[in-house]
Amino acid sequence: MKNLSLGIENKQLPFDSLDKTLEQKFAYSSFKNKINILENLRSLTQIDIIILSVSFDFINNRNAFKNIKSLIQLISKFLKKGSLLLIETTLPPGTFEKILIPEINKIFLKRKISIKHISIGYSYERIMPGKNYYSSIINNFRCYSGYDEVAKKRVRQFLKSFINYKKFPLSELNSITECETAKILENSYRASNIALIDEWVNYANLLKVDLLNVINSIKLRTTHSNIMRPGLGVGGYCLPKDGLFAEKSSKLIFKKNINFPFIKLTTKVNKEMPRSSFKIIQNKVQNLRSKQILIIGTSYKEDIDDERNSPSLLLIKMLKKKGSKISTYDPMIDKSFVPKSNKFDIVIFCVAHDKIKKIPLKFFSKRPYYFDLNNILDEKKISFLNKNNFKLTILGRYYE
């Protein structure tokens, strides 16, 4: 909250971003006093549209349901008639209809108003943090639903006010539970797609084939264009946990014992994926004790400063357990210059930030063993390193 307040005061985003459009929009809105911080929920009595987008992780937080119920109870005390409450938080399917609606009705009963006096809708976030953050908000397909037909209409009107809906049509789902389900299945699919590739890395090396080349040839088929390339692992707030919401929902909300073995396996594989890279490093270097290692990139995704559940941090833990001495450099987090490579025994490229991709050839010295774990180095750099007999291993490409 303090960072946001300072950002509004200084007309600057409260976090680092490469998205110039987002910076400009924030600065303009701040200058026009269109962004304000309300410290008291009583102010909701004056608000026409309320968007609820808060953290919800009941996989790791037992109080998640309790917390969101308490928040909904507080908000419901001050919602004015005719307002729209739009929930964007990723929720286990059934949470809204089975848990939140009864809480809202209890408060409204005390207030002697009907839930029909308020429009309540659901439309989960679809954004891509990074250099195209703002574009991913307005140029993206969105799913939505509402408590009733009036609410659905209100949500649609609101979304159409800022989304380029003619190019990116909106999808209206039959119920909020259906919409909650869409988000969980969407992220489960993506997480499974990522997990699939991990076991092919060692197999491709056994066959002495270039897995990246194989995947690039497959991606030419439009039906297979979203096949993932090998990488260090899955990070961020959503993908590591969202798939598990389905089984928890069936047991805790609907009281049915439905298992999701495929999702469990996906989650396990993704959680352990950094270990695949660790084993490759260990096999090439053998003794990691006291080795000076530079980790380049610690955020969970390129061009952002968010380290939540970053696979780079998991790799660092594994290396430290072997007695390695770790230094890190991430241009989105650390504003200092990239350290000189000749100070290190091992240099590991982990995150494909634009600034990391632009590291010049003069950075590379003969001393370190280089590992590219995320398809970061371009062909020019790879050709230079190989031609000059630098020690280099690229995840997904054959190595001896």
pLDDT in tens, 296-315: 999 999 999 999 999 999 99
- Residue 309 has phi, psi (to 5 degrees) of 55, 30
Phi-psi region of 195 (alpha: psi -120 to 50; beta: other; left: phi over 0): alpha
| pLDDT confidence bin for 205, thresholds 50/70/90 | confident
- Region 201-222: what's the mean pLDDT? 94
Sequence spans of domains, the chain: 38-173, 207-233+272-394
Beta-strand ranges (E) seen in 330-388 are 346-349, 369-372
Least confident among 57-71, 156-170, 264-278, 372-386: 57-71
Residue whose C-alpha is closest to residue 327's, from 379, 368, 377, 276: 368
387 CB burial (10 A radius; 0-12, 13-18, 19+): exposed
- Region 141-158: what's the mean pLDDT? 98
Is residue 333's pLDDT more than 70? yes
Give CA–CA dist 70/68, Å, rounded.
5
Task: Please give the pLDDT value at position 7.
Answer: 66
Give CA–CA dist 359/309, Å, rounded.
25
Least confident among 17-21, 83-87, 347-351: 17-21
Structure tokens, 72 = 């909904």
Task: Please give the pLDDT value at position 335.
Answer: 76
Contact at 8 Å (CB) between 93 and 130?
no
Q: Which residue has the tokens 């939505």?
A: 144
3-state secondary structure of 144: strand
Least confident among 33-37, 147-151, 154-158, 241-245: 33-37
Q: For the chain, first and last CA: distance in Å?
A: 51
Is residue 183's pLDDT more than 70? yes
Q: What's the pLDDT tens digit per position in 216-272?
A: 999 999 999 999 999 999 988 788 888 889 998 999 999 999 999 999 999 999 999
Q: Which CATH number fits domain 207-233+272-394: 3.40.630.40, 3.30.70.1400, 3.40.50.720, 3.40.1110.10?
A: 3.40.50.720
If you average pLDDT over every residue of the chain, what do you get? 92
Collect all residues with Cβ–Cβ distance below 8 Å to 249 and sequence separation of at least 6: 92, 93, 94, 95, 184
Beta-strand ranges (E) seen in 84-217 are 84-87, 119-122, 143-146, 171-172
Task: Please give the pLDDT value at position 3.
Answer: 65
3-state secondary structure of 163: coil
Least confident among 30-34, 89-93, 94-98, 157-161: 30-34
- How many whole angstroms from its chain centre is CA 168? 21
Contact at 8 Å (CB) between 173 and 182?
yes
Please name the CATH architecture into which domain 38-173 falls.
3-Layer(aba) Sandwich (3.40)
| pLDDT confidence bin for 94, thresholds 50/70/90 | very high
Task: Please give the pLDDT value at position 55.
Answer: 86
- Residue 2 has phi, psi (to 5 degrees) of -65, -45
One fold for both 38-173 and 207-233+272-394?
yes
Collect all residues with Cβ–Cβ distance below 8 Å to 319 and sequence separation of at least 6: 278, 281, 288, 293, 326
The percentage of the chain sitting over the pLDDT mark of 70, rounded to a whole number, equals: 98
